[in-house]
C-alpha cells in the first residue's frame, strides 16, 4: 500500500499518550518515520516500540532549547531528513483569573508557547536542507479561538500559539514550509479525563452540537491532512475540530 507520508519523517511532541500517540500511529500507518518525544519516557518508548523501525523515541522537555537540537540530530541520524513537526505537547489547567498565579501562567507559557517556538526554530534548518519544503502543525485549542471560563492562562498560551502560527507561516512561506494551527474542542484523552471523569468519551455533552467528545484518532486524521501534500496550498490557517462548539 502506498501511504500519504511515504518517505517522510515527522516529529511529534507529547507523543507518549493522547492525541500525540494517535498521530504517531496514524502517520506510521501512512508510511512515515516518526520521531516521538515526551517527558513521559516509559509511555513514549512503548508507543515508539509499536511502530518498529518507523519509530524513534527521544526523551525531551519541549522547553529545553538544547534538547531540541538533540531531537533534530537524532531524527536526521536515524531517518536522514525532517519533513514535518507537530507541536502537540502541552499542559492544561483551569483557574478563575482572580485565583491564578503568575507562576502557573509562566509555566503554561513555557510549555505551550515557548516550546513550539523553539521547535519551529530547531526544525526549519533541517527542513530547508531537505529541499522539499515542510509542514508544521501547532495544536492549539478552542481556547485559542474564543474565551472560556477559567481558562485565562491556558487560553493566553493557545491564542499566542495561533498568532505564532500565522506569523511563522508568513516568514517561512518562501521556503515552502507551511504552518497551520489545529483547535480541538473536548477530546477524550488523559489530559481532561482527570478533571472531567474517565467516561468523557461515553457521556452525552449537550453543549456540543454533535453531542459528544472527540476521539484522538479524529484529530489525528486532520493533522495527517495538514502534514501531507493533500494540504499543499494551505498555510497560516486555523482548523477547529470541536463538534461544532465554536460555530454557535
In angstroms, the CA 213 to CA 7 distance is: 33
Of 12, 56, 89, 120, the one binding ligand NAD by CB under 6 A = 89
The C-alpha cell of 80 is what? 536522514
CA distances (Å), 183 to each of 21, 79, 80, 140, in order?
17, 30, 31, 5
Angle among Cα 176, 180, 185 to the nearest 5 degrees reads 165
Asked if 155 interacts with ligand NAD (CB under 6 A), we say: no
Q: How far is the CB of 7 from ligand NAD (least distance, A)?
A: 26
Identify residues 194-213 at the interface with ligand NAD (CB under 6 A): none
Taking CB under 6 A as the binding criterion, the range among 68-76, 126-134, 189-197, 224-232 that sits at the site for ligand NAD is 189-197
Q: How far apart are CA 62 and CA 67, in angstroms?
A: 8
Angstrom distance (rounded) from CA 138 to CA 23: 13
Of the pair 134, 184, the CB lying nearest ligand NAD is at 184
Closest contact distance (angstroms) between CB of 233 and ligand NAD is 25
Which of 57, 68, 79, 154 is the catalytic position? 154
Determine whether 154 is an active site residue.
yes
User: How much is the CA Rg of the chain, to the nearest whole Å?
Assistant: 17
Q: Is 160 in the site for ligand NAD (CB under 6 A)?
A: no
Please select the residue that binds ligand NAD; options are 29, 63, 81, 234, rule is CB under 6 A: 63
Residues with a catalytic annotation lie at 154
Amino acid at each position: 500500500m502506498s501511504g500519504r507520508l511515504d518517505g517522510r519523517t515527522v516529529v511529534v511532541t507529547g507523543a507518549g499518550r493522547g492525541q500525540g500517540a494517535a498521530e504517531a500511529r496514524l502517520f506510521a500507518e501512512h508510511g512515515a518515520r516518526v520521531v516521538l518525544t515526551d517527558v513521559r519516557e516509559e509511555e513514549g518508548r512503548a508507543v515508539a516500540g509499536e511502530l518498529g523501525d518507523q519509530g524513534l523515541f527521544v526523551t525531551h522537555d519541549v522547553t529545553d532549547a538544547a534538547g531540541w537540537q538533540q531531537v533534530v540530530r537524532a531524527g536526521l541520524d536515524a531517518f536522514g531528513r525532517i519533513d514535518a513537526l507537530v507541536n502537540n505537547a502541552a499542559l492544561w489547567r483551569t483557574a478563575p483569573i482572580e485565583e491564578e498565579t503568575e507562576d502557573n501562567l509562566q509555566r503554561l507559557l513555557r510549555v505551550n508557547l515557548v516550546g513550539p517556538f523553539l521547535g519551529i526554530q530547531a526544525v526549519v534548518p533541517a527542513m530547508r536542507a531537505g529541499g522539499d519544503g515542510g509542514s508544521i502543525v501547532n495544536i492549539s485549542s478552542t481556547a485559542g479561538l474564543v474565551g472560556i471560563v477559567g481558562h485565562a492562562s491556558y487560553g493566553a498560551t493557545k491564542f499566542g500559539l495561533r498568532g505564532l502560527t500565522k506569523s511563522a507561516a508568513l516568514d517561512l512561506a518562501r521556503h515552502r514550509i507551511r504552518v497551520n494551527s489545529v483547535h480541538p474542542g473536548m477530546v477524550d484523552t488523559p489530559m481532561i479525563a482527570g478533571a472531567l471523569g474517565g467516561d468523557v468519551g461515553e457521556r452525552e455533552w449537550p453543549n456540543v452540537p454533535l453531542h459528544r467528545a472527540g476521539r484522538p484518532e479524529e484529530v489525528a486524521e486532520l493533522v495527517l491532512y495538514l502534514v501531507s501534500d493533500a494540504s499543499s496550498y494551505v498555510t497560516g490557517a486555523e482548523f477547529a475540530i470541536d463538534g461544532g462548539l465554536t460555530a454557535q
